[in-house]
Amino acid sequence: MPEGDTVRRTCSRLHEALAGRRLLAAELRWPGLSTASLAGATVVEVVARGKHILIRLDTGWTLHSHLRMEGQWRIERTRAEGPASRRDNVRAVLVTETWTALGLRLGRLDLIRTAAEQSAVGQLGPDILEADFDAGVAVANLARAGGAIGAALLDQRNLAGIGTIWASESLFAERLNPWREDLSGDELRRLVKRARGLMLAALKQHADPRVHGRSGRPCRRCGGIVRVAQIGPPTRERTMFYCPACQGGLAPGDHGRPLAPRGAGRR
């Protein structure tokens, strides 16, 4: 699932292409939205809120989307014959004189009043990439959440924008076991600061993960074997990569059986 830094880059590209431009045509291929008329509206701005994308229009409406696992927004030059959008995976088409935005494989698409955006994103904790990010609130939310710290980091109600990549990477950087439940206030503050720093850096340049996606391979810090396990409550489990040697032991239920390197055996 794209994380906060990827979503923010997507919003930046959409804003550059669409903001201040009038929609010549628009098509929403989503249940309940197929008859919505957006043509003639002008895009005011495109902003990110955690992993959510908000395309605000001058009509007082916001097109809200979430990429989920495989979604993306693609931008292409507007063609005289219309966009090449007759594909089954296209969920939204926004056409301006110069640029056309295609929403592919979107996981969620809503049309909501801009004044009521809280109905879609109000449950989120502080956005870790916002300039006015309130680390104190995020730390308090994590402390109150309890349970495994890795699962708490992934809960967007505590702080928004972190996914499995940056949860794994920040816990690894701080040498914290993802399944620990007893972090001190200082440890939580350092962890939140680390996660924000890693994600801000990733906004500027491609990041090379130290632990994520490296199950069965040597740890880049200690040479031990990186492992992967599920974390989180039933039906909401997520993947967590970690180094037992660096991060205080194995995950619950992990008996240390050998792991093949991620991708081994694939053709």
Ranges of H-type helices in 53-184: 118-121, 135-145, 149-154, 164-173
**Cβ-proximal residues to 121 (8 Å cutoff; 6+ apart), any chain:** 49, 50, 52, 54, 64
Q: What is the pLDDT of residue 260?
A: 67
Q: What parts of the chain have a pLDDT lower than 70?
A: 82-87, 260-267
Q: What is the pLDDT of residue 263?
A: 54
> Which domains, from first to last, does the chain contain?
4-121 (3.20.190.10), 135-242 (1.10.8.50)
Query: Which residue in 60, 61, 182, 46 sits closest to 110, CA to CA?
Result: 61
The catalytic site residues sit at 2-3, 51, 238
Q: What is the pLDDT of residue 257?
A: 78
Q: State both tokens at 266.
A: 């694939």
How far apart CA 73 and CA 53 sit, in angstroms, is: 10
Q: What is the pLDDT of residue 86?
A: 62
Q: What is the pLDDT of residue 85?
A: 58
Q: What is the pLDDT of residue 266?
A: 39
Q: What is the pLDDT of residue 140?
A: 98
Q: What is the pLDDT of residue 258?
A: 79
Tell me the per-residue pLDDT of 182-208, one tens digit each, with 9 for 90 and over.
999 999 999 999 999 999 999 998 888
